[in-house]
Amino acid sequence: MTHPHLRMTVDPHDRVAVRRKDEAWLEDRWADPGSRVLVLSGTRVRPDDGRLDWVSPAEAPDGVRVLLGERDARAWFAVVTGPGLAKEGGDWFGIRDLLTPLADGTLDGGPMLLHAVGLAEWLFVTRFCPRCGGALEPRAAGHELVCTQCGRAQFPRTDPAVIMIVTSGEPGTDDERCLLGRQAVWPEGRFSTLAGFYEPGETLEDTVRREVAEETGVLVGEVEYFGNQPWPLPASLMLGFVGRATSTDIEVDRDEIEEARWFTRAELRAEAESGRLLLPRGVSISRSLVEHWYGGPLPGGW
């Protein structure tokens, strides 16, 4: 089956990173009326009739000019302005509001939108040099920030996070189960796969084992890589795994996880159909992990 989270990143653009410091090339492409520009107000965009609103360079406002890359024999840029445009009115949306239309194909340009918003988020939060506190100046077509005092360069930050479905029992049998958890702030019935951030010095497999043990008390042995998903909310890369449990007793931490349960495939289907169980929608790699283990689509979601 085609995993929904992969649909968000199909048809990637050529990022032409070698051109980011080629000022003559950049100016030539910016002068081309065929080039396209996505305007961001802070970290928000304004779709037009269900599509991303790409304008010509001449129509773009002032702001940090970001080279996204090339596709279809033209150059694609983003201009990141302050949040003032969105405050002036109109329907401006954050990336979280657009994930579902990106995943189901009703909004195009997924890879370039994720690229643009990820850089906009980074530019928004990276205001001063962490070494000396000096002002930062954008370089390399928006992909570097250089301190005007000490010269130290900053690069876009991405925080790796693991997300995993943990299974127990004989694989492929009716008795095999998967482990899902819920946070206290979620509505009743909402469950998802476990997840957590990588810590320095770990392997990703050990991150999976540590996070599952910390949150649920379940021990994990074998860990298999599944896939990944850009997640600029604000700056993560979700790395999906399937883990095999070596213990099944659950003791939740009551901090991050309020409840965790083992589900057979029959229980998963029945509770999802009845609405007692609410799984993440197809935009998330979490949904892909669950349906990969289940073996097909499941109803409902949040």
Domains and CATH numbers, the chain: 4-125 (no CATH), 159-294 (3.90.79.10)
Q: Please report how many Cα atoms fall inside a 13 Å half-sphere around the Cα of residue 60, on the Cβ side.
A: 27
Would the pLDDT of 70 be above 50?
A: yes
Q: What percent of the chain has pLDDT over 70?
A: 96
Mean per-residue pLDDT, 24-44: 97
CB distance 269 to 240 below 8 Å: no
CB distance 67 to 20 below 8 Å: yes
Residues with Cβ within 8 Å of residue 277, at least 6 apart in sequence? 189, 191, 263, 268, 271, 300
Alpha helices in the chain (DSSP H): 4-7, 23-31, 84-87, 95-104, 110-125, 204-216, 265-274, 285-294
Q: State the pLDDT confidence band at 96, using cuts at 50, 70 and 90.
A: confident
Q: Is 193 exposed, middle or buried (0-12, 13-18, 19+ CB in 10 A)?
A: buried
Q: Check residue 100 and give its pLDDT.
A: 75
CA distances from 24 to 20, 28, 30, 65, 66 (A): 10, 6, 10, 14, 15
Residue 230 forms beta bridges with which residues? 237
Q: Which of 295, 287, 255, 288 is nearest to 191 (CA)?
A: 287
Between CA 19 and CA 34 the distance in angstroms is 18
Radius of gyration of the chain (CA): 22
Would the pLDDT of 58 be above 80?
A: yes
Would the pLDDT of 7 be above 60?
A: no
Mean per-residue pLDDT, 187-196: 95
Q: Which of 253, 224, 255 is nearest to 240 (CA)?
A: 224
Which pair of tokens denotes residue 111? 């890879």
- Per the rule left: phi > 0, alpha: psi between -120 and 50, beta: everything else, 204 is alpha
Q: Check residue 30 and give its pLDDT.
A: 98
Mean per-residue pLDDT, 72-101: 90
Q: What is the reported pTM?
A: 0.87
Q: Check residue 1 and give its pLDDT.
A: 42
Q: Check residue 173 and give its pLDDT.
A: 93
CB distance 146 to 136 below 8 Å: yes
Q: Check residue 162 and give its pLDDT.
A: 98
Say which range, 15-29, 97-111, 144-158, 234-248, has the weakest mean pLDDT: 97-111
Q: What percent of the chain has pLDDT over 90?
A: 77
* Residue 299 parent element (H or E): none
Please, what sign has the CA dihedral across residues 290, 291, 295, 298? positive
CA distances from 286 to 155, 183, 211, 219 (A): 28, 15, 15, 20
